[in-house]
Amino acid sequence: QLQLQESGPGLVKPSETLSLTCTVSGGSISSNSYYWGWIRQPPGKGLEWIGNIYYSGTTYYNPSLKSRVTISVDTSKNQFSLKMSSVTAADTAMYYCARHEATGTTAHWGQGTLVTVPS
Amino acid sequence: EIGMTQSPATLSVSPGERATLSCRATQNVGSNLAWYQQKPGQAPRLLIYDASTRATGIPARFSGSGSGTDFTLIISSLQSEDFAVYYCQQYSNWPPITFGGGSKVEIK
């Protein structure tokens, strides 16, 4: 059974870089049928797609975040990662990693990790 | 970017009643529309994809319809476990993948 688990600091200082890793188990990140992505949700608000990556390293980003975001993949560890630079309090959110079907639907989600950026 | 608008923001329904949720896209997305359910403290769960296809393990009381710009999610007879927030998502033209703002179904 596929499982995704986010890890990383729960508190990031303003102007610093947020770094999260998603570890995939029960399936290979090198499958050519899926994209591996990040989605966030500020407290009490809706979902925002951050971006995703194909196992080959091809990335797609939300234009609203593209200048600050880098997603990378480590197939040897079955992991992919998110880096978001110059964070502010507006980046405080639950961050989910997820597996996207080739179409873009998301059937598998991690449990999420809360990242707080104090104001 | 394709914008997604959901209505109503909150729907108060009694158990056993029918709930109808709407989602509208700013551009034609064909049938490339999914619905998710999110309960407090949990990740979203895929309910419907391709506008009307139930995901694995989703009960038949959930049904989706629509194409183009207007979509509907119907829960035919609300069970206690169905009270949650529901999101629509388009995947017709990405990046970016975009979500609606959500509709909360609460107990009346």
Structure tokens of A100?
A: 């996207």
Dihedral of the alpha carbons of B21, B8, A100, B27, in degrees to the nearest 10: 90
d(CA B7, CA B45): 19
* pLDDT(A32) > 90: no
Residue B4 pairs in a beta bridge with B25
Structure tokens of B10?
A: 């909150």
* pLDDT(A12) > 90: yes
Please tell me chain A's helix, strand, coil percentages from 3-state DSSP, rounded to the nearest 5. Answer: 5, 50, 45
Q: What is the pLDDT of residue A31?
A: 85
Q: What is the pLDDT of residue B102?
A: 98
Q: Is residue A84 exposed (0-12), middle (13-18) or buried (19+ Cβ within 10 Å)?
A: buried
How many Å lie between the alpha carbon of A119 and the closest alpha carbon of chain B? 24
pLDDT tens-digit profile of A40-92?
Answer: 999 999 999 999 999 899 999 999 999 999 999 999 999 999 999 999 999 99
Q: What is the pLDDT of residue B21?
A: 98
Who contacts B34 (Cβ-Cβ below 8 Å, separation ≥6)? A105, A106, B46, B47, B48, B49, B50, B88, B89, B90, B91
pLDDT tens-digit profile of B52-70?
Answer: 999 999 999 999 999 999 9
Chain A residues touching B44 at Cβ < 8 A: 47, 96, 106, 109
d(CA A81, CA A60): 14
d(CA B86, CA B103): 5
- Please, which residues 39-58 of chain B have a Cβ atom closer than 8 Å to chain A? 42-46, 49, 55-56
Confidence of residue B51 (pLDDT cuts 50, 70, 90): very high
* Contact between chains at B95 and A60 (C-beta distance less than 8 A): yes
